[in-house]
Structure 1
Amino acid sequence: MASTSRRSAPAKARSAIPQVSWRDPQPAPIVLVSGPEEICAERATAGIREYLKAEDPSLEVTDLRADDYAPGTLLAVTSPSLFGEPRLVRVSGVERCSDAFLAEAVGYLAQPQEGATVILRHTGASVRGKKLLDAIRAGEGGGIEIACPAIKRDSDRYDFAAGEFSAARKRIAPTALRALVSAFADDLTELGSACQQLIADVPGDIDDRIVERYYGGRVETSAFTVADFAIAGRYGDALLALRHALASGSDPVPLVAAVASKLRTMARVAGSREPSRALAARLGMKDWQVDRARRDLVGWSQVTLGMAIHATARADAEVKGASRDPVFALERMITVIATRAPFAA
């Protein structure tokens, strides 16, 4: 039988220690920062450092590599100094740790040094260090865990960006947020940096024009931007966004799919008076998706929504080969949705 690959992520044991959000980190004698999402891990680690530094500016910070470790180092850097300054030790590469580090770290859990905070970063890229992780999660050392799972889906990136602005108490228009997420769809670190730049630079609310001014060079009009404008009844903006998307190389098929997706969500939510959380759980959606669909439904009726869905179904068939002019099919669909009236040739 083949042995377990080192590339396999360790199975996460049931945890007996507090689980703390990376957005609201706090110190503890042992802090396990687990999971592959590096930007979240960096935020968690920086947040703990800021917390400790605010408590005592004399904080001593030491960085160690678990894969290039000199025996005895962990105890040396965590031991109290002559003047008793607090110590923060940041350990990277625990998923590649040496035997020496693993043995000493497991031993350290039995008697953590007073005044020391040890952050252990494990990406989950291998099973290496599982013995240490299991011990921490069993409660040895009085630790906490900050999980940083991968952010891959569009909805998760949207939630990440929305959380950046929410944490800063900054308002951003949904269409502006969608455009920003689309512009940095391939790099979460860049998306986080873009959010922080807007938060720092813009004194008031953030709208589409501000996002365009800052990131117009890389914001390609997304399919969902077209859909947002059309469903909001902004006919001129929707047509301009559609032409911009097509000029940027967008394919008609996903453009129609984005519109259809939003209309389907609106249809599923329409007429229900359940609380957002209950309805989201029943429909297999997230709370924010239900809230967004309810906002989108303002001004719509059963008749106009049915007409929009019919127009979208027709456009879907036409852009997939039933028509020789897919651009006209798209424009007709946008016209029906944005004006909420039958198409007049």
Structure 2
Amino acid sequence: MHHRVPPHVLIAGPEQVLAERGLAQTIDDLKVTAPDLETIRLHAAAYTPGELLLHASPSLFGGAKCIVVHDLDEAADDLQTDLLAALAGEPEPDLTLVVTHKGGARGKKVLDTLRGNGARVIDAPAIKTDRDKADFAAHEFRRARRKATAEAVHALVEAVGKDVRELAAACQQLVDDTTGVIDEKVVMTYHGGKVEATGFRVADATMVGDTGEALRLLRHAIAVGVDPVPIVAVLAQQVRQLIKVGSAGRGRSADVARDVGMAPWQVDKARRALGGWTAEGLAVSLQALAAADFEVKGGGRDPVYAVERVVLTITGQHARNHA
């Protein structure tokens, strides 16, 4: 899938996983036509004036060269001046200049010049929200030509989504270690033991009022050594999400998601769960969770009992609406 690399490449955006990948791909593409490519890396923070122009001048022995200037967004004036000088002349035939920029206003003139020169731009946008992470994971599976269900992607984001690097590694592991469609069961087999995944399953059962299942999952979680604190945190997060979605009105999922800072599938899930709830029931649940949070963080004598009690309180509030 290699493309002929133009003389200038800009890798722009804060997401390091994507930036590193774009850089690796660029170097791989260059090596297709120049297997003995020489790669020189210059870092903005350690730059000495004139260094770039020294490396950019044709060497006696010829050969293809790639100069990577890391973190233009941290560059002092001398590096920016040297870059502008290097970009002003005719590009050297065997030289590729790659510049990375994490964001912000510094280095804007260099960015504009690169873009004006027709540089290839590789975007590395931030992957922050659950929605970004789900899109990223879905794309990882597509890139590997593997089918993954939406539920599997959500489960994976819930289990390992704190860190994008870990999420990328988890996607790769599932691609390498499994065959066929990647579904929720497959994800749970690999990542079900993760604290968050277990906490989410307890919370899901609790929020739909399934007392028996919630307590069974909770006792299992405690038995395998899951700390009660994150379980209470996930429960509180779910109750708050229901309150947010409940008070956001009837708009399209995508619009509500944007307004309340959730992913559209989370809004849909909250809307399905809201059927069994009154505003009062949610308020009582949130108060009970605040008390439980204090107890599991050392304010109470028995954290496990505190979580069980709050689960019973919440499922009780849910049932009350159906009485």
TM-score (norm 2): 0.69
Counterpart Cα distance in 1 of 2:124 and 2:160: 19
Give the aligned residue type for 2:284: R
Q: CA deviation at 1:162?
A: 3.7
Counterpart Cα distance in 1 of 2:57 and 2:212: 66
- Is 2:264 the partner of 1:294? no
Counterpart Cα distance in 1 of 2:199 and 2:3: 36
Q: CA deviation at 1:335?
A: 6.9
Q: CA deviation at 1:120?
A: 0.8
Q: Quick one: structure 1 residues 74 and 102, their matched pair in 2 at CA, closer, same or farther if it must change by over 3 Å?
A: farther
Counterpart Cα distance in 2 of 1:233 and 1:306: 8
Which consecutive residues of structure 2, in runs of 5 or more, have no partner in the other structure? 296-304
Structure 2 equivalent of residue 62 of structure 1: 39
Structure 1 equivalent of residue 137 of structure 2: 161
Counterpart Cα distance in 1 of 2:139 and 2:260: 18
What SS class does the counterpart of residue 14 from structure 2 fall into? coil
Give the aligned residue type for 1:31: V
Question: 1:236-283, CA deviations, whole angstroms, 9 ceiling, x for partnerless residues?
Answer: 6544444455652233652332222443466468865x5x55x458x6
Q: Quick one: structure 1 residues 226 and 106, their matched pair in 2 at CA, closer, same or farther if it must change by over 3 Å?
A: same
- Is 2:237 the partner of 1:258? yes
Bigger proportion of residues as helix: 2
Q: Quick one: structure 1 residues 229 and 308, their matched pair in 2 at CA, closer, same or farther if it must change by over 3 Å?
A: farther
Structure 2 residue corresponding to 1:118, chosen from 97, 108, 119: 97
Counterpart Cα distance in 1 of 2:172 and 2:26: 19
Structure 2 residue corresponding to 1:327, chosen from 281, 293, 308: 308
Counterpart Cα distance in 2 of 1:242 and 1:26: 55
Structure 2 residue corresponding to 1:75, chosen from 57, 60, 77: 57
- Check the 8 A contact 2:215/2:308 in 1, yes or no: no
- Is 2:16 the partner of 1:38? yes
Give the aligned residue type for 1:260: V
- Is 2:203 the partner of 1:221? no
Q: Quick one: structure 1 residues 255 and 130, their matched pair in 2 at CA, closer, same or farther if it must change by over 3 Å?
A: closer
What SS class does the counterpart of residue 263 from structure 2 fall into? helix
What SS class does the counterpart of residue 166 from structure 2 fall into? helix
Counterpart Cα distance in 2 of 1:165 and 1:232: 31
- Is 2:244 the partner of 1:284? no
Identical aligned residues as a percent = 29
Question: 1:264-320, CA deviations, whole angstroms, 9 ceiling, x for partnerless residues?
Answer: 466468865x5x55x458x6267x83345336656x7xxx71536554332222233
Counterpart Cα distance in 2 of 1:220 and 1:210: 16
TM-score (norm 1): 0.65
What SS class does the counterpart of residue 221 from structure 1 fall into? helix
Q: CA deviation at 1:39?
A: 0.9
Counterpart Cα distance in 2 of 1:271 and 1:293: 11
Give the aligned residue type for 2:290: K
How many residues get paired? 302
Match runs of 1:137-216 below 5 Å: 137=115, 139=116, 141-172=117-148, 176-215=152-191
Which consecutive residues of structure 1, in runs of 5 or more, have no partner in the other structure? 1-23
Question: In angstroms, what is the RMSD of aligned CA positions?
Answer: 4.4
Counterpart Cα distance in 2 of 1:340 and 1:30: 65
